[in-house]
Amino acid sequence: KVQVYQEANRETRVQIQESVRGKDVFVIQTVSKDVNTTIMEMLIMVYACRTSCARSITGVLPYFPYSKQCKMRKRGSIVSKLIASMMCKAGLTHLITMDLHQKEIQGFFNIPVDNLRASPFLLQYIQEEIPDYRNAVIVAKSPASAKRAQSFAERLRLGIAVIHGEAQDAESDQVDGRHSPPTVKTTGAIHPSMEIPLLIPKEKPPITVVGDVGGRIAIIVDDIIDDVDSFVAAAETLKERGAYKIYVMATHGLLSSEAPRFIEESAIDEVVVTNTIPHELQKLQCPKIKTVDISMILSEAIRRIHNGESMSYLFRNIGVDD
């Protein structure tokens, strides 16, 4: 029994209303729209259990917030490392999560992390719910998600296609010359005799689809579907190349702001996500969104940890690259 509420000044207050002394505590926290409040609720609850002498505190976060910010960008910071440090400092002794954006995020924690996989549930959905799935091709909407697509394709014994490049804008700055390099060679000189060579800027080619999708069912796979622009653009490209049905499969359906409307108006036939994040509202707005229940694997992980059983059964057939 616990009471969680916000005071008038938006401070989060947590009161645990039964004894947790010497108990194994599991804090299940699904990430809502207000991510920062969700994180504070979790941290305060974990700290409250720790100061109440709980024997162990396991956090169950089906979707790990800020997991996209796991790389250094210009003058930004690696926020998921900060969140990991805060959780460990609050008193978490174990973390159960699902499909981290990058599996190396586990290294940000100095506690055990079980990164469960949703792919068995999504693969089962493909086999049971997509008629004629043998005529499908697994699509990576960018070369970055090719590894995930390869994993799906190998398990289903299907072909793979990769979308590469970006839409070329005719009225781009390349046409009017603003993109052209300066006439004077500028290099960051450390010493008159030393010159650092300038890195050539990347130039993406026009969109190409590597692999045959003509007359096939295209299944785009990714881990997070939030801003759907790239998925809609990929679906348009696949339709042009002759794919007759387009599915999108992802573990975490954030589906922010206008995403349901864009999906409804797009060439995508169905978006399949798991219930790691609540999305009932989005489903009302867009009947194309379908949900796969993954509560079974989370409950089994909780049971095994509590009883001190091996977790390897939940990771069977998962290779180092998956």
Write the pLDDT tens digit of every residue in 200-210.
888 888 888 88
Q: How does residue 306 score in pLDDT terms, banded at 50, 70 and 90? A: very high
- Are 157 and 258 in the same domain? yes
Considering only residues 230 and 186, tell me which one the structure prediction assigns the higher pLDDT: 230
Position 218 scores a pLDDT of 94
In a domain? residue 297: no
Mean pLDDT of 74-89: 94
Instruction: Please give the model's pTM, rounded to 2 decimal places.
Output: 0.87
- Are 62 and 159 in the same domain? no
Q: How does residue 198 score in pLDDT terms, banded at 50, 70 and 90? A: confident
- Are 220 and 281 in the same domain? yes
Position 313 scores a pLDDT of 84
- Are 8 and 90 in the same domain? yes
- Are 44 and 89 in the same domain? yes
Is 173 a residue whose pLDDT tops 60? no
Q: How does residue 257 score in pLDDT terms, banded at 50, 70 and 90? A: confident
Domain that holds residue 16: 2-115
- Are 30 and 66 in the same domain? yes
Position 204 scores a pLDDT of 81
- Are 283 and 150 in the same domain? yes
In a domain? residue 301: no
- Are 248 and 148 in the same domain? yes
- Are 130 and 22 in the same domain? no
Mean pLDDT of 223-244: 91
CATH number of domain containing 106 = 3.40.50.2020
Position 110 scores a pLDDT of 94
- Are 109 and 128 in the same domain? no
- Are 92 and 128 in the same domain? no
Q: How does residue 199 score in pLDDT terms, banded at 50, 70 and 90? A: confident
Q: Are 60 and 26 in contact (CB under 8 A)?
A: yes
- Are 132 and 270 in the same domain? yes
Give the span between the Cα atoms of 121 and 184, in whole angstroms.
Answer: 57
Mean pLDDT of 188-204: 76
Position 227 scores a pLDDT of 86
In a domain? residue 305: no
In a domain? residue 281: yes
- What is the domain count for the chain? 2
In a domain? residue 211: yes
Is 120 a residue whose pLDDT tops 90? yes
Mean pLDDT of 283-298: 92
Is 243 a residue whose pLDDT tops 60? yes
In a domain? residue 98: yes
Report how far apart the first and last C-alpha atoms of the chain are (Å, whole number). 38
In a domain? residue 186: no
